[in-house]
Amino acid sequence: MNIYEVAKKAGVSIATVSRVINNSPNVRPETREKVEAALKELNYRPNAIARSLAANTTKTIGVLASDVRDSYYANAVYILEQEFRMMGYDMILCNTGGELEKRKKYMGLLLEKKVDGMVFVGSVFKEKKDNTHIMDVSEVVPVVMLNSSLQGNNIYSVVCDDQLAAFKVVESLASRGHREIAYVYDVDSFSGLAKLNGYYSGMQAAGLPIRQEWIIRTESGINGGYMALIRLMEMQASCTAIFTSEDILAAGILKGLLAKGKKVPDDVAVFGYNDSVLARCTTPELSTVDNKVGVLAREAARMLCKVLDGEDTPHHKIIEPELVFRESCP
């Protein structure tokens, strides 16, 4: 079933059929009706591949995220898909994992599939040294980075101000009388660094002592948090508050604290990051940072669509995070 058969049945040329399909205004109403009748009758469905080849646009976006099983990425991917869909785009999803080489491979594959644009979800996409692979991609299609950024002609970014968020967390912890605040994190990506910086500057601004041994890098996941807490305990840390870069780490810390007989928040206050469902499932519930992943995703999608529509849009947007106070630090 193709445009030719429809044309034959309707007694018109394929150009006319194409016109009514793409509802071009230049078609006489009667003609349009004839064609539409044929369309119905033959149960015609346009072939998007052929259209892509001819029109040189696939109406599909490539989305790279390291792992959708992480709720942050899942949220981003969900919103991206909804937004793109609304604008008539499909989304090819790639879970790239951590390795640079794998990511490069995915970018290549997406380029072969002729996606109209790409979005990279997460600050892990910005390499410390060399980002030429991203620059290369951006020579071909527009790129938007969600929660990391890179300077470039055809590169756009929308980020949450994680440094500010961390700063504020420390600030409000300090205002609650905490002077000894530990920080536990897992990765030192772009946003990981921003948070760490926020912690430092927050401590400084509040005039609190920074103790390097209380800044702990641990593995990802609930166990990472647990182990960090154990380490803190073993060094008899006197901290009265623990701030983490991820809710899941905070969950592990809560577990450890419980095991050690510490009361939260009375003995130790705990602050998470992400405002994931997790934060409402722990006991006590977690105070956390809402880093607005939904907003970031929506903005990212809209930016890309604008670029593709030839409208202009700022290359960089910053979204303000928000602190959410729950039981672990009321």
Partner DNA sequence: CTGAAAGCGCTAACAT
Partner DNA sequence: ATGTTAGCGCTTTCAG
Contacts of 312 (CB under 8 A, 6+ apart): 306
Q: Which is nearer to its own copies, 178 or 298 (CB)?
A: 298
Residue 191 contacts which entry, DNA, its own copies, none (Cβ below 5-8 A, type-dependent): none
Residue 26 contacts which entry, DNA, its own copies, none (Cβ below 5-8 A, type-dependent): DNA
Per-residue contact track with DNA, 34 to 53, x per CB under 7 A?
----------x-xx--xx-x
Residue 210 contacts which entry, DNA, its own copies, none (Cβ below 5-8 A, type-dependent): none
Q: Which is nearer to its own copies, 196 or 264 (CB)?
A: 264
4 interacts with DNA by CB under 7 A: yes
Structure-token pair, residue 236: 């008899």
Q: Which is nearer to its own copies, 74 or 323 (CB)?
A: 74
Query: Residue 85 and residue 80: Cα distance in Å, rounded?
Result: 8
Site for its own copies in 112-131 (CB under 8 A): 112-114
Residue 55 contacts which entry, its own copies, DNA, none (Cβ below 5-8 A, type-dependent): DNA
222 interacts with its own copies by CB under 8 A: yes
SS3 for the chain, per residue? CCHHHHHHHHCCCHHHHHHHHCCCCCCCHHHHHHHHHHHHHHCCCCCHHHHHHHHCCCCEEEEEECCCCCHHHHHHHHHHHHHHHHCCCEEEEEECCCCHHHHHHHHHHHHHCCCCEEEEECHHHCCCCCCHHHHHHHHHCCEEEECCCCCCCCEEEEEECHHHHHHHHHHHHHHCCCCCEEEEECCCCHHHHHHHHHHHHHHHHCCCCCCHHHEEECCCCHHHHHHHHHHHHHCCCCCCEEEECCHHHHHHHHHHHHHCCCCCCCCCEEECCCCCCHHHHCCCCCEEEECCHHHHHHHHHHHHHHHHHCCCCCCEEEECCEEECCCCCC
Least gap, CB of 74 to its own copies (angstroms): 5
Site for its own copies in 269-308 (CB under 8 A): 277-278, 280-283
Q: Which is nearer to its own copies, 108 or 314 (CB)?
A: 108
Residue 200 contacts which entry, DNA, its own copies, none (Cβ below 5-8 A, type-dependent): none
30 interacts with DNA by CB under 7 A: yes
75 interacts with its own copies by CB under 8 A: yes
14 interacts with DNA by CB under 7 A: yes
Chain residues that interact with its own copies, rule: CB under 8 A:
45-50, 52-53, 58, 60, 67-69, 71, 74-75, 77-78, 81-82, 85, 90-95, 108-109, 111-114, 222, 248, 251, 254-255, 258, 277-278, 280-283
Chain residues that interact with DNA, rule: CB under 7 A:
2-4, 11-16, 18-19, 21-22, 25-28, 30-32, 44, 46-47, 50-51, 53-56
